[in-house]
Structure 1
């Protein structure tokens, strides 16, 4: 009997520790006080604008949108890619994929400048299958080139191009589904990966990541950034000539980091989920809203970085922020499954005379 009681007490203690760890590590106890030095310039009606990227030289943005209100949405609603003209104050999204007749539920996207225009890649989850759709962008028009599939695409989330035919992508889970995926989520198990495609072969180049999410590449410093959403941190890697990655350090961010975009100076702009459990409840339809947050990370060198919170609210303005892209004093903020995304206008400090 005593042995049984000891075992029972040990099990109860372990469960309490597990639940306590889950609550703390997902930001459950964090208070959400609205914070933003600026105003909402526009609210653009487009469901599930999960990822946004900018062609700075040509003043336009590409938005990846999929209606995910039926989370986990098998089958997902048809999605699409949209163009936003940043040369005007009219942020109406222009559909780019109306001629793309295959099932399309886009997720992470990446844009790469070429001599004749741009190459665009989008992760596609249509029909519960994973692929990467490759497009060319010329004169702000899209043309589908090919579809990439591979067994390494276990649960692809985001990708970043480092050449016309070379890219990295994140698998946000080690398990594709079932109990394993659920345990992985709540226990924060570091089972997700980064895969590199060199134009011919796929190979895993990083592992041991707790929910690998957004990914970004700084070509000037040859650094790769990966959001570890479940650990509230960004992992920093140096990139080898053969595409291999060497881990440098983790940047603690204090929030559930999602997609990463870089500005001209190499700073990281990240849409984030400050309370993951509240976001999961929202995504499953058990809550009406979920908080949104935007942070900027200035990474100077190993051990020398600054994390700045720019925007925080409880979800009444927009729920479930997933990406933040700066354009001058404007900030385009997308989300996982809200019915609109926001264009924020920041109050920038006056330039010294």
Structure 2
């Protein structure tokens, strides 16, 4: 009787897991085909061959790019090469990508950069904050950018139990930032199982030297994060739930949800157009191809623009879409004065003049 009951429970559990797996495949657009939307005046950026997972552009047109991410379950075209931070000057007629030198005192060989965010202080000094995954752990690194030396001066590594398995961050003040926790780097199997079962167990946290706390919960897989031009709202992508959360920032750094914008694609990193305030989203139109990578049938790329974010009916339009023949696994897009950089998790980078 006991064995029969155990077999019955096992069968029911497997049937339930199978049903959830099928639902998960449907949710992440396993079989979606991409309708191409191409841009003119584009070329692939030389030297950025192994990913450009996140991009942050300063008001003066200097673009920081994180490259070489080693990510659980994702393709890796350069497994023996450490990650790097690249710089492009978008004011140049033909901008080139150059890897920034990193000062001594930092473990460059285990550098595994993920989400990035810049901060400019009152003296106009530029600081770069980088989510790093050395040895598949999670830290936040702080660098000072030295433009004349074309280098990053290593300042500090931040560790905290709430910063385990962080994905992206947005800096609002000196050592004050919001970050998304996605659980991938704490336990990839449990993270994947959580996505399959549609568990809402990832969150957004706030960090400062004085206080570290969870400020928003209930995400299936919290991913990209950025801030509105007026600094009043925080935008958060929930990649496998296919939506963007608009959160109001309180004086105590807590976040209150204003609305959720539902999408038809998996939203990765977010940026804000500095001229219009629109959200730009790097998206995965058929993410199962990203998980089960086949270079003969590669994952597509998609970039969306979300206008009138706070209105009752935000307008979503496609800026760029490709079936993987040019760009695979888009993770981010960022604009500056009529120019756009489109980055990927592990593949190449596209630069276009709009």
Inter-partner Cα distance in structure 1 for 2:72 and 2:212: 32
Is 1:131 the counterpart of 2:139 in the alignment? yes
CA RMSD of aligned residues (A): 2.8
Cα 1:328–1:175 shift into 2, 3 Å: closer
Which residue number in structure 1 is paired with residue 86 of structure 2? Answer: 82
Q: Specify the SS of the correspondent of 2:183.
A: coil
Q: Indicate which of 217, 222, 233 corresponds to 2:232.
A: 222
Which residue number in structure 2 is paired with residue 30 of structure 1? Answer: 32
Is 1:55 the counterpart of 2:29 in the alignment? no
Q: Specify the SS of the correspondent of 2:57.
A: strand
Q: Indicate which of 304, 329, 340 corresponds to 1:331.
A: 340
Deviation per residue, 1:235-263 (Å, 9 max, x gap): 11000011000011111121111111111
5 Å-filtered alignment, 1:289-300, equals 289-300=298-309
Which residue number in structure 2 is paired with residue 273 of structure 1? Answer: 284
Question: 1:320 Cα deviation (Å)?
Answer: 0.5
Is 1:91 the counterpart of 2:101 in the alignment? no
Inter-partner Cα distance in structure 1 for 2:253 and 2:182: 20
Inter-partner Cα distance in structure 1 for 2:58 and 2:68: 21
Question: 1:116 Cα deviation (Å)?
Answer: 2.9
Question: 1:83 Cα deviation (Å)?
Answer: 0.9
Inter-partner Cα distance in structure 2 for 1:93 and 1:146: 25
Inter-partner Cα distance in structure 1 for 2:14 and 2:154: 55
Question: 1:222 Cα deviation (Å)?
Answer: 0.4
Question: 1:217 Cα deviation (Å)?
Answer: 0.9
Question: 1:43 Cα deviation (Å)?
Answer: 3.3
Is 1:185 the counterpart of 2:195 in the alignment? yes
Q: Please give the TM-score of this superposition, normalised by the length of structure 1.
A: 0.88
Contact 2:136–2:185, Cα closer than 8 Å, also in 1: no
Is 1:322 the counterpart of 2:298 in the alignment? no
Cα 1:8–1:222 shift into 2, 3 Å: same
Inter-partner Cα distance in structure 1 for 2:9 and 2:71: 43
Inter-partner Cα distance in structure 2 for 1:107 and 1:15: 31
Inter-partner Cα distance in structure 2 for 1:344 and 1:321: 15
Q: Specify the SS of the correspondent of 1:184.
A: helix
Question: 1:303 Cα deviation (Å)?
Answer: 2.5
Cα 1:97–1:105 shift into 2, 3 Å: farther
Cα 1:75–1:279 shift into 2, 3 Å: closer
Q: Specify the SS of the correspondent of 1:238.
A: strand
Gaps of 5+ in 1: 347-353
Deviation per residue, 1:33-58 (Å, 9 max, x gap): 211242423433311211111012x2
Inter-partner Cα distance in structure 2 for 1:83 and 1:250: 33
Q: Indicate which of 103, 118, 127 corresponds to 2:126.
A: 118
Deviation per residue, 1:78-123 (Å, 9 max, x gap): 1111110111133321221343541311110001122232121001
Question: 1:317 Cα deviation (Å)?
Answer: 0.1
Inter-partner Cα distance in structure 1 for 2:161 and 2:144: 25
Q: Specify the SS of the correspondent of 1:38.
A: coil
Question: 1:175 Cα deviation (Å)?
Answer: 7.8
Inter-partner Cα distance in structure 2 for 1:323 and 1:132: 20
